[in-house]
Amino acid sequence: MSSAHPIKRPSSNGSEYSECPFTPATKRARVERLVADQQLLASQSIPTPHTPQVIQTVRLPDIQRKKILITGGAGFVGSHLVDRLMSEGHEVVVLDNFFTGRKANVEHWLHHPNFSLVRHDVIQPILLEVDQIYHLACPASPPHYQYNPVKTIKTSTMGTINMLGLAKRVKARILLASTSEIYGDPEVHPQPESYWGNVNTIGPRACYDEGKRVAETMMCAYRDQNNVSIRIARIFNTFGPRMHPNDGRVVSNFIIQSLQNKDITIYGDGSNTRSFQYVDDLVNGLVKLMNGNYDQPVNIGNPDEYTIKDFATKIRDMCGSKSEIKHFPKVADDPTQRKANISTAKKEIDWEPTVTVDEGLKKTIEYFQGEVQAAGEIVPTGPDAAKPKGGS
């Protein structure tokens, strides 16, 4: 009896099928092709409309490869952190409830054996075995975190308690993505980590500001009482590709309005200031902080300071737009000035930003050109509380 099993294939005219032998050679070729495909999928990301570039990954020995949890990993900053850690060869678990996160931000990794995506809300406990935890979960734009202030507080408090409990149980190091908002409307400029802040505890931004302040308190309490290894990053304004188009923040709104030649909306006279950093610099800072030896709060931001009006003009000019700048009443509790003092970051983790604002804006404008083209039209979110719009 012959060992070759016949298989059917279409004839030249497409109307009939003829039999061809499934020989050991053809079977071996198919297996080799399958193995090669799997090896390719395990060595890079897959191009997607949202992330068309291919990101290569390295293969680490088991002793060097970490299992890393990123809460909020499908969000703007989280997804860029995923890219960095995946490219270094680590195993990454993303935890996200997709309130502001988008599956499209990480879909280029869904095939990779080192990547896992879990739909889960951090206010509910979860049992995992991990080496490091980047706790980024929480809406970060004022319209989004004000939409459900009670849920925002729960995310910063209950979510942080749950992640600290997990870190304690599995002896993982945990990094909290805190915020420059803990400084409130600062009376010290620029803001060093030693400044205690000037925050309205019952204002519209308090759900986020105070939530992050108590999260820092809990981090230190777990460190001092339970010997949990902690890191705290106070993140200043950050921009780049994958920002949510409707997050209502300055950079995304100004770019979207400029690209569509719509009026650029400024709330107040535009004299209040911000310092803006590109997302790649932030990710570099987070990774350095996580793997360094410093466990006190660290400002991560670009000290280049702009007035909001000057920044709007810069973006309009870079977009070649015909938009006009329109002023509206100032938003309650909007800080008058914000600038990072990064002397601690320079000294303790050898970090400072390397991407200029202009370089970052060019990449961000290019990204939003694609978003506007795909959507047809994007209506920016105003300052009022709003649920995130758009698909995943």
pLDDT tens for residues 93-109? 999 999 999 999 999 99
pLDDT interval class at 279 (50, 70, 90): very high
- Can you give the C-alpha Rg of the chain in angstroms? 24
Q: Which residues pair with 135 in a beta bridge?
A: 71, 176
pLDDT value for 5: 52
SS3 content of the chain, % helix, strand, coil (to 5): 40, 20, 45
pLDDT value for 1: 44
Length of the chain: 392
Check residues 290 and 143 and name the one with the higher pLDDT. Answer: 290
pLDDT value for 65: 96
- For the segment 28-32, the average pLDDT, to the nearest whole number, is 74
pLDDT value for 392: 55
What is the per-residue pLDDT across 34-54, written as a single tens digit (0 to 9) for each? 767 777 778 899 999 889 999
Q: Which one of 201-205, 247-251, 280-284 scores highest in mean pLDDT? A: 280-284
In degrees and rounded to multiples of 5, residue 22 shows phi and psi of -90, 85
- Max CA pair span of the chain: 90
pLDDT value for 215: 98
Nearest-angstrom CA–CA distance, 357 and 85: 24
- For the segment 253-281, the average pLDDT, to the nearest whole number, is 95
Task: Report whether 294 contacts 349 (CB < 8 A).
Answer: yes
- For the segment 222-231, the average pLDDT, to the nearest whole number, is 98
User: Cα angle at 135 between 133 and 140, to 5 degrees?
Assistant: 160
pLDDT value for 13: 55
Half-sphere exposure of 126 (CA within 13 A, CB side): 21
Does pLDDT of 2 surpass 50? no
Query: What is the set of active-site residues?
Result: 208
